[in-house]
Amino acid sequence: MTRLADIPELKSLAARRDLIRIPHEVDVPLTPRVRALIDAPAFRRLARISQLGLVALVYPAANHTRFEHSLGVYHNALVYLKQLSTDPRFEAAIGVEAAETFIVAALLHDLGHWPFCHPIEDMRLPGVPSHELFANSFLLTGEIADVLRDEWDIQPREITAILSEKPRDDRGRLLRSLLSGPIDIDKMDYLARDSLHAGVPYGRHFDQSRLIGSLCLNEAGDALAIRDKGRTAAEMMVFARYVMFSEVYWHHTVRAATAMLQQAFYLLHGQLDLDALFRLGEQALCDELLRAAGASPAAELLAGLFGPTRRLYKRLAEYSYFQERAWYEQIARRPYAWLVACSEQFAAAASRRLGRRIAPHEVLFDAPPVKREVEFNVDIFFPKENCYRPLGDVSPVITTLATRQFDDFVKRVRIFVHPNLIDDLRALGPLDALLTETLARMDS
Amino acid sequence: MTRLADIPELKSLAARRDLIRIPHEVDVPLTPRVRALIDAPAFRRLARISQLGLVALVYPAANHTRFEHSLGVYHNALVYLKQLSTDPRFEAAIGVEAAETFIVAALLHDLGHWPFCHPIEDMRLPGVPSHELFANSFLLTGEIADVLRDEWDIQPREITAILSEKPRDDRGRLLRSLLSGPIDIDKMDYLARDSLHAGVPYGRHFDQSRLIGSLCLNEAGDALAIRDKGRTAAEMMVFARYVMFSEVYWHHTVRAATAMLQQAFYLLHGQLDLDALFRLGEQALCDELLRAAGASPAAELLAGLFGPTRRLYKRLAEYSYFQERAWYEQIARRPYAWLVACSEQFAAAASRRLGRRIAPHEVLFDAPPVKREVEFNVDIFFPKENCYRPLGDVSPVITTLATRQFDDFVKRVRIFVHPNLIDDLRALGPLDALLTETLARMDS
Amino acid sequence: MTRLADIPELKSLAARRDLIRIPHEVDVPLTPRVRALIDAPAFRRLARISQLGLVALVYPAANHTRFEHSLGVYHNALVYLKQLSTDPRFEAAIGVEAAETFIVAALLHDLGHWPFCHPIEDMRLPGVPSHELFANSFLLTGEIADVLRDEWDIQPREITAILSEKPRDDRGRLLRSLLSGPIDIDKMDYLARDSLHAGVPYGRHFDQSRLIGSLCLNEAGDALAIRDKGRTAAEMMVFARYVMFSEVYWHHTVRAATAMLQQAFYLLHGQLDLDALFRLGEQALCDELLRAAGASPAAELLAGLFGPTRRLYKRLAEYSYFQERAWYEQIARRPYAWLVACSEQFAAAASRRLGRRIAPHEVLFDAPPVKREVEFNVDIFFPKENCYRPLGDVSPVITTLATRQFDDFVKRVRIFVHPNLIDDLRALGPLDALLTETLARMDS
Amino acid sequence: MTRLADIPELKSLAARRDLIRIPHEVDVPLTPRVRALIDAPAFRRLARISQLGLVALVYPAANHTRFEHSLGVYHNALVYLKQLSTDPRFEAAIGVEAAETFIVAALLHDLGHWPFCHPIEDMRLPGVPSHELFANSFLLTGEIADVLRDEWDIQPREITAILSEKPRDDRGRLLRSLLSGPIDIDKMDYLARDSLHAGVPYGRHFDQSRLIGSLCLNEAGDALAIRDKGRTAAEMMVFARYVMFSEVYWHHTVRAATAMLQQAFYLLHGQLDLDALFRLGEQALCDELLRAAGASPAAELLAGLFGPTRRLYKRLAEYSYFQERAWYEQIARRPYAWLVACSEQFAAAASRRLGRRIAPHEVLFDAPPVKREVEFNVDIFFPKENCYRPLGDVSPVITTLATRQFDDFVKRVRIFVHPNLIDDLRALGPLDALLTETLARMDS
């Protein structure tokens, strides 16, 4: 087997045989060796972890799984390979073995995820394992490792290398850019899939076919690039990602639920066996958190999220770049512990004003994290001029999205409070004095 | 409030305010009193029960919930009401109060469902509660009942009456026909929704807009009917239902998983507290079944379905109307206990032939149940001739679907066996002698 | 070049290069030698002929062209070839040369069409050329012939052979079955395309991907067949075709317009140079008909269709299998001249009753033609049993569609009259006596 | 009739009765008085004018008509009215009479268009009538005027006022903002419709439902505004418009065809009766231009566009903001006559270099016109803060699109040449010297 087209999964894709269907009407080839991987316990586990976690409290249909997403990313890997195999530079750089490693890496890229992974990681608490180490525990031993060696003739270390180690050569950098970048196979799947299940059109609003047909290599041959015919399609994908953040991932009610979970986890994490906890399915993890919380303040937070009755905190205030920028700039991009302390100070100050005790966990400050989100570091190839230009240079709108709109306008500072408090606190009128007092105490 | 259009949920639908989104891009109005119902524990419970149960083992994205489906049916109720409110006969028959009761009934119609409801009911075992009684336990007391009385001014008994009692008058029959019939609001939702999440086009293949625009009353005024302009749309919906049964609900691998669950439940049900069991969410119910199974034969069946590794029984044989009809006719439409006995006889006979023991639960006979599926009992109104004709009279294709294709061609007799046995049993060659022996012992 | 995959058009399809877009988001490969064909006058002419003719008087957006449709059929040819090239029996039967001939035949299959082709042919008038002879005039000489010889290395006679001669061998029969049959590349395109442009969902309601993935050869190797996994998809396509006939092609207002055009053409055809006429674009042909009509009765008919004001005849009566079957059976499936005579007798009889003259062309009898429409002659392959069964044997619903629903229920007998007459004629009450008199005179 | 909901067209929309279908599955209500308008000659004329003109030479399916588009805009008018009628400020401002005038204005807004309207107007030649005056000739007399007076009880002058006169009061400004602005009913239709027929997804990439649900009035009550929930949807619509310009309306081949038509029209316009010409349908207008051109240089240009063989000029060079900005800035935003002179100078200079005569019309300079395209002047309403902010203030990405991306990056300067010249001219190498010489002569 010397041609990419002879890889069994690509043959199955071409012949439309041995397929499994996922939305939106996508046929995913299941060769026996792929079947063996996805039936293994470490992969089946992804069928018990939802892709979007707390988003389902706002978009109730968004409970699709990482299992489904992983199949989608694997399918995209085949489509990208099929397309790039028509480019002689790619064929020369990536042989059959590297391509098969890439296919498996795509399929298994989420093995290190656990339920509510992203909000938990955003807190940067000690003791939380890295995805990489966590994934390795599923990849390097057990059924997955056996199948890789026996049915794929791949050493498990090759998969962990491509997924998490610093690439050592052009081939490594090239494959990594297919897995992670502004137009990678992961985003290409999750934008469309999250959008479909949430019931919104936003994340499907780009021209997949045009984008895929425009894939090429950058000048150095060590990263994915886009032919100029696909420039607009690339812009549309970046724009689609912005809209998904604005309307779904950073929806204010999703942030309320996220702030509740983060606070509960912050209160409990010292007493949890995180490694064991993160191996559970989502329902089991929720059950375990509820059990660990007992009758502590965390219990009420968790009950509102996972208990019999849905009961979310309410938005007391919101600050963005165009809404009272001064507050926004003082609170955004702070460490999580700072936000917790700030919430406590605010609760104390509010207690004094209302003349009744507000518990610290009844006020939650939520703010944009330090890390910026928009990736747009991809080159555009202009065949007529035979030159490459960075996307940002030929697309002012992308530059604006990336440097301003995304982080300063979508991600906002918000103060959420227990629903029992919202009326009393709103009755206090403008919060400026309270916030001034709160922030003054933070500085002292 | 005297006009249907003034009902708050219909006003919210018209003004596109206070909406929640579900696929496919449907905006569902959430008034405070609807919010109160869906946040209540008995309704939140539906968020932990999947609509299609074991289908997700074959169509991995089909894990949408009864919560989402219930919102869809409620939305359809509003759409039907909005449309029918343009028909003076409907306005005269159904006042605001009856309409509000109908809206609530639509939202709560699945409250009596438990995980894997349909395969369990198909077995007709003693001790399995009826939906109605089960739903009543959530409807007549507790938070739902309180909200109905306090926020809707509806007596809970009115909801149970419309959902499960024999209608006493024309109004009752009319509302019931909107909830249950060939073009009811339930099928209108689940065909499209199941299809979308499964990733197949089949169940969305009808012209919703045309069908809804054609809704009218039958001659007697006690059932939904269709104007002749919507006849083809009605045919399409019945056809769509046929395709969904053929490709999804009765997919042979779905039937393998169903036969496994039924056998396990059959083995365990004597030792289970069914009322408590059925109040659990789906994950918790699976956990409880696995616990109850211990090391019994049921354990292996359940582990293949819900354990760490997916491991389904294989299809040894299949008989339909056009494939060896004689076997089909001898096995189809038998009681579940007869099929169990038949499986045991087959296992015993096969053990003799193979010279090794095959356990009774390693062979599963699966066959169409007695009840036929296709409903097509709806009248078509021809305004030019001012007459009504039954759909079957003006559509031979519907008659054929209902009387032949559906039950005799889609639903098949199948023999599933443990994957360890499949090669040996296939090596035996044609099964006719084995089956003859099996059925002879059944008769004796 | 020895592999099908090396055919330039298939390479362009795979590499997504040199594409032109048509709805619905289909990328059609345009190699230079395809570009040369479609830019030639005989092909550009198709851009001035609409696919559906008079349908646009009812579905105003349905004015897509035969040019667009031809690109769609050509694209389907590539998709079918790509799929079938994974079947060794096909590869063995069809070499590169035959495949290229097939590709060109698909692209050029409509070259012999003229505006309003189908209604004119249905009348079976003398002097109307056959498509084949008409197409040959564009294929065997001129720019198309030159391009075929120079750029494709194909003799024009090979194209006319595959399109219109009786196939002489298995290869010929096989390729013909891809061009003409129940799941051919032509229907696969026009059902979806007509549906899209008309604005209705019906003709897109089948599972293209599943159907294409199921393509195989029949047992004899001389016709397209379907693997059993695609059986339902094939049923859906036949059903979709039925719905398109019911709601679009045989819509009663489309039939009114058709009857008007047929009558006008019947009145004029003796004085027209049909060969020259049929070479015109659609607008030019309409202009020419209007010119030829002068002030004759045909002028009024044509003015209502193509003049400044749209003015269509009204439906006075309608008879189908379930509506007054006796009249239906006496009038359906008669020669066009018989219908004309019948219209005249009816006009005369009605004139007597109304006491004013009704001109013969003011009454138009429209009825189903002799030829039945539904094709379902395709075999289904069952790999587990290694046998082939005709679709009709495994699908009662298809048999019913084909033998009953389609011709007896969709296609109806209708009497259309000039809009000025409709009120007076309706005021006469039931038409039975008038029809009895009319038909009695026809028999005498 | 005092409520907007009682307007017959809105009642028909609500009851889904008397509908005509246009893509994409939109049901347009046809009351008798609407039917009377669209069957009138001045409106039927729009069925013979394509929406996109020369675009069909590049996107061959884009030959939808202004008739279809007008129905879509009329439908949007009903949808906007239905939505805004839930806003008490709108109901108070716009009574039934004003609403009916608006409905008619929406339906008839394109009556003053003629074939290839936009490229001809862009040239700003003397003698070309304004749309307004041209529309008035159809509106103020004839069948449309009669129907307005007799069936709508509307004076034709009221329609011309709302369509083309400066609004005199708040009501006038408000209705005008529904017809013309960044989220008007016209753009809402054509973006989606042009996109659908062209076969591309771009123009449908916004959330119509969310946008419509967010419609409100601005603070002054004299223009449409958007609630903050619809801000992202408004951004998406502006972005969609950008992509449609980039990929369709300003596609480089469309510009080649446009430059050819403009040059031909420029050469001929002195000898044409423009008023008579512009009353023709598109095919007839093309025929007339070809006739007028005789054997002049315009004939070759027109033959390449409308003759038997498609033959477009080729792109010799292209300059944009990021490609050789200096040339771009010297050529963009010049009067058409300047571009003609420039082409002539270039042809002369190139003739000298090639040593053979290049006719002036064989070189065409194409450049962005003076008028900028992106409209984004709409207010966003923030109900929590009870304040209005301009879209540009809360959306940097919109500001960037409007001020930079659109005009400086999408619209480029291009030099097109006759296909016979392209190889020779390319062989000359870089064009800088030629351009320097050309521009130097322009300045002198």
pLDDT tens across A380-390, in order? 999 999 999 99
Contact criterion met (CB below 8 Å) for D59 and D198 = yes
Contact criterion met (CB below 8 Å) for B87 and B94 = no
- Out of D15, D82, D209, whose CB is closest to B27? D209
Contact criterion met (CB below 8 Å) for B51 and B190 = yes
pLDDT of residue D370: 73
Q: What is the model's pTM?
A: 0.96
Indicate the average pLDDT of chain C: 94
Please give the Cα distance from D444 to A185 (Å, whole number).
Answer: 56
Backbone angles phi, psi at B416, to 5 degrees: -105, 145
The SS3 assignment for D34 reads helix
Identity of the amino acid at C241: R
Residue in chain B lying closest to C235 (CA): B243
- Which residues of chain C are at the A interface, by a Cβ-Cβ cutoff of 8 Å? 11, 14-17, 19, 25, 27, 82-83, 86, 209, 212-213
Contacts of D368 (CB under 8 A, 6+ apart): D332, D333, D407, D411, D412, D413
Identity of the amino acid at D8: P
Identity of the amino acid at D331: I
Token output for D227: 């609630």
Contact criterion met (CB below 8 Å) for B315 and B416 = yes
Contact criterion met (CB below 8 Å) for D104 and D9 = no
Which chain C positions have a beta carbon within 8 Å of D61's beta carbon? 22-23, 64-65, 68
pLDDT of residue B82: 97
Inter-chain residue contact A21 with B199, CB threshold 8 Å: yes
Whether residue A374 is predicted with pLDDT greater than 70 in this model: the reply is no
Inter-chain residue contact D21 with C59, CB threshold 8 Å: yes
Assign A15 a pLDDT band (cuts: 50, 70, 90): very high
Tell which of D400, D414, D431 to mutate to test the A interface (max A CBs under 10 Å).
D400
Please give the Cα distance from C41 to B271 (Å, whole number).
Answer: 81
Please give the Cα distance from A83 to A101 (Å, whole number).
Answer: 17
Please give the Cα distance from C44 to B378 (Å, whole number).
Answer: 50
pLDDT of residue C444: 77
Dmax over CA atoms of chain A, in Å, equals 78
Contacts of C144 (CB under 8 A, 6+ apart): C37, C40, C42, C43, C108, C111, C138, C156
Q: A374-410 in b/e burial notation, b at 16+ Cβ within 10 A?
A: bebebbbbbeeeeebbbbbebbbbbbbbbebbbbbbb
Contacts of A97 (CB under 8 A, 6+ apart): none
Average pLDDT per consecutive 10 residues, chain D (444 residues; last block may be shorter): 90 95 96 97 97 97 97 98 96 95 98 95 91 91 97 97 93 96 94 96 88 97 96 94 94 97 97 96 97 96 96 95 89 94 96 94 93 79 94 91 81 96 94 95 86
- Out of D201, D242, D382, whose CB is closest to A207? D201
Tell which of A196, A316, A328, A405 to mutate to test the D interface (max D CBs under 10 Å).
A405
Taking alpha carbons only, the member of A258, A190, A199, A232 closest to residue A398 is: A232
Token output for A136: 């390795």
Which chain D positions have a beta carbon within 8 Å of B17's beta carbon? 86, 213
Contacts of A28 (CB under 8 A, 6+ apart): A19, A20, A21, A22, A71, A72, A74, A75
Alpha helices, DSSP H, located in B245-384: 252-268, 274-278, 282-293, 297-306, 325-331, 336-354
pLDDT tens across A297-317, in order? 999 999 999 999 999 999 999
Which parts of chain B have pLDDT scores under 70? 1, 372-375
Contacts of A35 (CB under 8 A, 6+ apart): none
Identity of the amino acid at A314: K
Whether residue C181 is predicted with pLDDT greater than 70 in this model: the reply is yes
Taking alpha carbons only, the member of C299, C295, C291, C296 closest to residue C273 is: C291
Write down the residue that tokens 């990328």 correspond to: C27
Taking alpha carbons only, the member of C209, D80, D284, D128 closest to residue A28 is: C209
Contact criterion met (CB below 8 Å) for C163 and C132 = yes
pLDDT of residue C373: 65
Helix, strand, coil percent content, chain B, rounded in steps of 5: 60, 10, 30
- Out of C39, C283, C309, whose CB is closest to D283? C283
Taking alpha carbons only, the member of A379, A326, A366, A360 closest to residue A214 is: A379
pLDDT of residue B401: 87
Residue B170 neighbours by CB distance under 10 Å:
14
How many residues does this entry show for chain C?
Answer: 444
Token output for A265: 């986890």
- Out of B16, B82, B212, whose CB is closest to D212? B16
- Out of A200, A236, A405, whose CB is closest to D397? A405
The edge-to-edge listing of strands for the beta sheet with B387-390 is B215-217, B224-227, B379-382, B387-390
Write down the residue that tokens 């317009």 correspond to: C257
Pairing verdict, β B26-29 and B19-22: antiparallel
Percent of chain C with pLDDT over 90: 88
Token output for C20: 């032109």
Please give the Cα distance from D283 to C367 (Å, whole number).
Answer: 34
Contact criterion met (CB below 8 Å) for C271 and C289 = no
Please give the Cα distance from B350 to B84 (Å, whole number).
Answer: 60
Q: What is the mean pLDDT of residues A263-268?
A: 98
Which chain B positions have a beta carbon within 8 Å of D209's beta carbon? 16, 25, 27
Taking alpha carbons only, the member of B248, B138, B260, B166 closest to residue B202 is: B248
pLDDT of residue C285: 97
Q: Please compute Rg for chain B using Cα positions.
A: 24
Indicate the average pLDDT of chain A: 94
Whether residue C374 is predicted with pLDDT greater than 70 in this model: the reply is no
Angle at A100 between CA A99 and CA A101, to 5 degrees: 90
Task: List chains adjacent to chain C, taking adjacency as at least 3 C-beta pairs closer than 8 Å.
Answer: A, B, D
The SS3 assignment for B376 reads coil
Whether residue C237 is predicted with pLDDT greater than 70 in this model: the reply is yes
- Residue B130: DSSP 8-state: P
Please give the Cα distance from D110 to D135 (Å, whole number).
Answer: 8
CA of A207: how far to CAs of A183, A211, B107, C68, in Å?
A: 12, 6, 37, 21
Please give the Cα distance from C313 to C293 (Å, whole number).
Answer: 18
Pairing verdict, β C379-382 and C387-390: antiparallel
Tell which of D237, D239, D314, D376 to mutate to test the A interface (max A CBs under 10 Å).
D239
The SS3 assignment for C50 reads strand
Q: What is the mean pLDDT of residues C368-376?
A: 74
- Residue A365: DSSP 8-state: E
Pairing verdict, β D379-382 and D224-227: parallel
D364 strand-pairing partners: D416
CA of D349: how far to CAs of D255, D342, D440, D443, in Å?
A: 23, 10, 11, 15
Q: What is the mean pLDDT of residues A10-22?
A: 96
Write down the residue that tokens 């570091």 correspond to: A377
Identity of the amino acid at B405: Q
Helix, strand, coil percent content, chain A, rounded in steps of 5: 60, 10, 30
Please give the Cα distance from A183 to A223 (Å, whole number).
Answer: 11
Sign of CA dihedral A401, A402, A406, A407: negative
Which chain D positions have a beta carbon within 8 Å of B86's beta carbon? 11, 14-15, 17
